Amino acid sequence: MCPARVYIIDEHDSVRSALADRLDQAVGLTILGHSGDAGQGLHDIREEEPDVVLVEVKRSDGLGLEIMRQIAALPKPPQLVVLTSYPSEWEEKAASRAGATSYLLKDIDSKELIRRISAMAER
């Protein structure tokens, strides 16, 4: 089985870096990159073609759902996982309509997050 190829879009540097470090140590996952900038993230995703993209919806620039729609519209779209600190039913439904495969809290246990990413990459 090939490692799941993952990309992270989150505008908070410390969150993004910590998440990338945590996941990069997992067997079976490869972090292709991460960005806080939505445009750079979309560019990188087009180039790298990850299996799974972890994306933050609540962005100060308001582009969370739009970047998800653009990723979902790619010829070979990755699985989209929303990571959020403050869940809402409205946001979960909107994310699903924008292409999200999964909607998870950022405080999810590392082993469970890795398990879910690996399962999504196999789809």
**pLDDT per position as a tens digit, 66-111:** 999 999 999 999 999 999 888 889 999 999 999 999 999 988 988 9
Domains and CATH numbers, the chain: 4-121 (3.40.50.2300)
Q: How confident is the model at residue 6 (pLDDT cuts 50, 70, 90)?
A: very high
Backbone angles phi and psi of 84, in degrees to 5? -140, 150
Single-letter residue type at 80:
L
The answer to whether the pTM exceeds 0.85 is yes
Residue of 81 and 3 predicted with greater confidence: 81
Q: Give dist(CA 13, CA 91) in Å, integer.
A: 23
Q: How confident is the model at residue 31 (pLDDT cuts 50, 70, 90)?
A: very high
C-alpha angle with apex 4: 8 to 78, nearest 5 degrees? 60
Q: Give dist(CA 58, CA 114) in Å, integer.
A: 22
Q: Give dist(CA 80, CA 44) in Å, integer.
A: 15
